[in-house]
Structure 1
Amino acid sequence: MTSTPQRPVQKAGGGDYTARHLSVLEGLEAVRKRPGMYIGSTDSRGLMHCLWEVIDNSVDEALAGHCTHIDVVLHADGSVEVRDDGRGIPVDVEPRTGLTGVEVVFTKLHAGGKFGGGSYTASGGLHGVGASVVNALSARLDVEVDRGGLTHAMSFRRGEPGTFADPAGGAVGGASTPSPTSTFTPFTDASELRVTGKVRRGRTGTRVRYWSDPTIFLKEAAFSYDELVTRARQTSFLVPGLELRIRDERGLTGTPGQDGPHEELFRHDGGITEFVDHLATDPPVTDTWRLQGEGRFKETVPMLDERGHMVSQEVERECGVDVALRWGTGYDTELRSFVNIISTPKGGTHVAGFEAALLKALRKAIADNARKLKVGAKEEPVTKEDVTAGMTAVLTVRLAEPQFEGQTKEVLGTSAVRGIVTRVVEKEVAALFASPAKGTKLQTATLLEKVVAESRARVTARQHKETQRRKTALETSTLPAKLADCRSNDVEKSELFIVEGDSALGTAKLARSSDFQALLPIRGKILNVQKASIADMLRNAECAAIIQVVGAGSGRSFDLEAARYGKVIFMADADVDGAHIRTLLLTLFFRYMRPMVEAGRVYSAVPPLHRVEVIGSGRAKNEYVYTYSEAELQSTLARLKQSGRRWKPDIQRYKGLGEMDADQLAGTTMDPAHRTLRRVGIADAAAAERVFELLMGNDVAPRKDFIVEGATGLDADRIDA
Structure 2
Amino acid sequence: MDTVDNNPAGIPTEEANYDSSQIQVLEGLEAVRKRPGMYIGSTGPRGLHHLVYEIVDNSIDEALAGYCSMIEVDLLPGEIIKVSDNGRGIPVGTQSQTGLPAVTVVFTILHAGGKFGGSGYKVSGGLHGVGASVVNALSEWLEVEVCDGEHRYYQRFERGKECAPLAITGDTDQKGTQVAFRADPEIFEEVLYDYDTLLRRLREQAFLNAGVYIVLRDQRGTETVEEHLHYEGGIRSFVEHIHQQKGVESLHDEVIYLAAREGDNTAEVALQYNDSYTELLLSFANNIHTTDGGAHEVGFKAALTRVINDYARRYNILKDNDENLKGEDVREGLTAIISVKLTDAQFEGQTKAKLGNTAARTLVDTLVYDKLTTYFEENPTVARTIIEKSLGASRAREAARRAREVARR
Q: Do both proteins adopt the same fold according to a TM-score greater than 0.5, normalized to the shorter chain?
A: yes
Who is 2:22 aligned against? Answer: 21
Instruction: Kindly indicate whether residue 402 of structure 2 is the aligned counterpart of residue 459 of structure 1.
Output: no
Flag the structure with larger Rg: 1
Instruction: Kindly indicate whether residue 49 of structure 2 is the aligned counterpart of residue 48 of structure 1.
Output: yes
C-alpha displacement at 1:193, in angstroms? Answer: 1.5
Who is 1:229 aligned against? Answer: 199
Q: Is the 8 A contact 1:104 1:128 kept in 2?
A: no
Cα distance in 2 for partners of 1:12, 1:319 equals: 61
Cα distance in 2 for partners of 1:127, 1:245 equals: 27
Cα distance in 1 for partners of 2:141, 2:14 equals: 38
Who is 2:7 aligned against? Answer: none
Cα distance in 1 for partners of 2:93, 2:175 equals: 15
Who is 2:115 aligned against? Answer: 114
Q: Give the 3-state SS of the residue equivalent to 1:87 in structure 2.
A: coil
Q: Is the 8 A contact 1:113 1:127 kept in 2?
A: no
Who is 2:260 aligned against? Answer: 293
C-alpha displacement at 1:401, in angstroms? Answer: 3.2
Who is 2:389 aligned against? Answer: 450
Cα distance in 2 for partners of 1:31, 1:239 equals: 31
C-alpha displacement at 1:446, in angstroms? Answer: 1.7
- Of 166, 176, 187, the match for 1:216: 187
Q: Give the 3-state SS of the residue equivalent to 2:321 in structure 1.
A: coil
Q: Give the 3-state SS of the residue equivalent to 1:89 in structure 2.
A: coil
Who is 2:9 aligned against? Answer: none
Cα distance in 2 for partners of 1:95, 1:12 equals: 53
Equivalent residues in 2 for 1:287-366, closer than 5 Å: 287-295=254-262, 318-366=264-312
Who is 1:631 aligned against? Answer: none
Q: Is the 8 A contact 1:107 1:128 kept in 2?
A: no
Equivalent residues in 2 for 1:47-196, closer than 5 Å: 47-126=48-127, 128-163=129-164, 192-196=165-169
1:237-277 CA distance string (max 9 Å, x none): 111111111111212xxxxxxx4222111111110000011
Greater Cα offset, 452-461 or 28-37: 452-461
Instruction: Kindly indicate whether residue 225 of structure 2 is the aligned counterpart of residue 262 of structure 1.
Output: yes
C-alpha displacement at 1:117, in angstroms? Answer: 3.3
The one-letter amino acid of 2:306's match is: K
Instruction: Kindly indicate whether residue 222 of structure 2 is the aligned counterpart of residue 283 of structure 1.
Output: no
Cα distance in 1 for partners of 2:171, 2:304 equals: 55
Who is 1:401 aligned against? Answer: 344
C-alpha displacement at 1:126, in angstroms? Answer: 4.2
Q: Give the 3-state SS of the residue equivalent to 1:208 in structure 2.
A: strand
C-alpha displacement at 1:13, in angstroms? Answer: 6.5
C-alpha displacement at 1:144, in angstroms? Answer: 0.2
TM-score (normalizing by structure 2)? 0.93
Q: Is the 8 A contact 2:185 2:191 kept in 1?
A: no
The one-letter amino acid of 1:282's match is: V
Who is 1:509 aligned against? Answer: none
Per chain length, whose mean CA-contact separation is higher, i.e. which structure has more relative contact order (CA < 8 Å, sep 6+)? 2
Aligned structure 1 segments of 4 or more residues deviating by more than 6 angstroms = none
Who is 2:208 aligned against? Answer: 238
Cα distance in 2 for partners of 1:98, 1:226 equals: 42
Cα distance in 2 for partners of 1:386, 1:116 equals: 42
Cα distance in 1 for partners of 2:154, 2:127 equals: 21
Q: Matched residues, percent identical?
A: 44
Q: Give the 3-state SS of the residue equivalent to 1:464 in structure 2.
A: helix
Cα distance in 2 for partners of 1:295, 1:13 equals: 64
C-alpha displacement at 1:285, in angstroms? Answer: 1.8
For structure 2, the 5+ residue unaligned runs are: 1-11
Who is 1:386 aligned against? Answer: 329
- Of 174, 182, 199, the match for 2:172: 199
Who is 1:273 aligned against? Answer: 236
Cα distance in 2 for partners of 1:415, 1:26 equals: 35
TM-score (normalizing by structure 1)? 0.53
C-alpha displacement at 1:12, in angstroms? Answer: 9.0
For structure 1, the 5+ residue unaligned runs are: 1-10, 164-191, 252-258, 297-317, 472-721
Instruction: Kindly indicate whether residue 373 of structure 2 is the aligned counterpart of residue 427 of structure 1.
Output: no
C-alpha displacement at 1:222, in angstroms? Answer: 1.5
Q: Is the 8 A contact 1:362 1:448 kept in 2?
A: yes
Instruction: Kindly indicate whether residue 378 of structure 2 is the aligned counterpart of residue 415 of structure 1.
Output: no
Q: Give the 3-state SS of the residue equivalent to 1:270 in structure 2.
A: coil
Cα distance in 2 for partners of 1:64, 1:127 equals: 17
C-alpha displacement at 1:433, in angstroms? Answer: 2.0
Aligned pair count?
395
Q: Give the 3-state SS of the residue equivalent to 1:94 in structure 2.
A: coil
Q: Give the 3-state SS of the residue equivalent to 1:23 in structure 2.
A: coil
C-alpha displacement at 1:133, in angstroms? Answer: 0.3
Q: Is the 8 A contact 2:283 2:289 kept in 1?
A: yes
Q: Is the 8 A contact 2:313 2:319 kept in 1?
A: no
